[in-house]
Amino acid sequence: MPGKRCQKELRNLHIQEARIDRKRRKALEELKQLQSDRQTADDPAAASDPDPFKSDAEFFAAINAGYVPPSIAENLARQQHANGGNGFEFSSASLPQAPEGAIARYLAEHPTRF
């Protein structure tokens, strides 16, 4: 009898696995649809005309003139906000410190360099 019980448990596990897989596929399809709908709703101009430039040359001319694509501008704005607005992070805690008087001794030994 233990063999039949194991077979029944395996069959039940297989049924559960198939059910979970169907739910996963359905949820993934729904997610893709929602993402597509949201992208269209958020940026109707991008959905209707994803490339506003007629050629690569026109695009690169705009880049050279200072045009920044909206997606890149959003990323830059987020990074600047995260870094305090200037795009740089300053930290002197990790810099090695010169031994006391080392700089003065070096300047005294090499006066013509500076």
Reported as a single tens digit per residue, the pLDDT across 2-24 is 678 889 999 999 999 999 999 99
Reported as a single tens digit per residue, the pLDDT across 33-79 is 998 888 877 765 555 555 677 788 887 788 788 887 777 888 877 77
pTM more than 0.85: no
Encode 21-87 in three state secondary structure: HHHHHHHHHHHHHHHHHHHHHHCHHHHHCCCCCCCHHHHHHHHHCCCCCHHHHHHHHHHHHHCCCCC
C-alpha to C-alpha distance for 14 and 22, rounded to whole angstroms: 12
Q: What is the pLDDT of residue 72?
A: 80
Q: What is the pLDDT of residue 24?
A: 93
- Nearest 5°: the CA angle 72, 63, 86 is 50
C-alpha to C-alpha distance for 17 and 30, rounded to whole angstroms: 20
Reported as a single tens digit per residue, the pLDDT across 72-112 is 888 877 777 766 655 566 666 666 676 777 777 788 787 77
Which residues, other chains included, contact 107 with Cβ-Cβ below 8 Å and sequence gap of 6+? 114
Q: What is the pLDDT of residue 15?
A: 94
C-alpha to C-alpha distance for 78 and 111, rounded to whole angstroms: 48
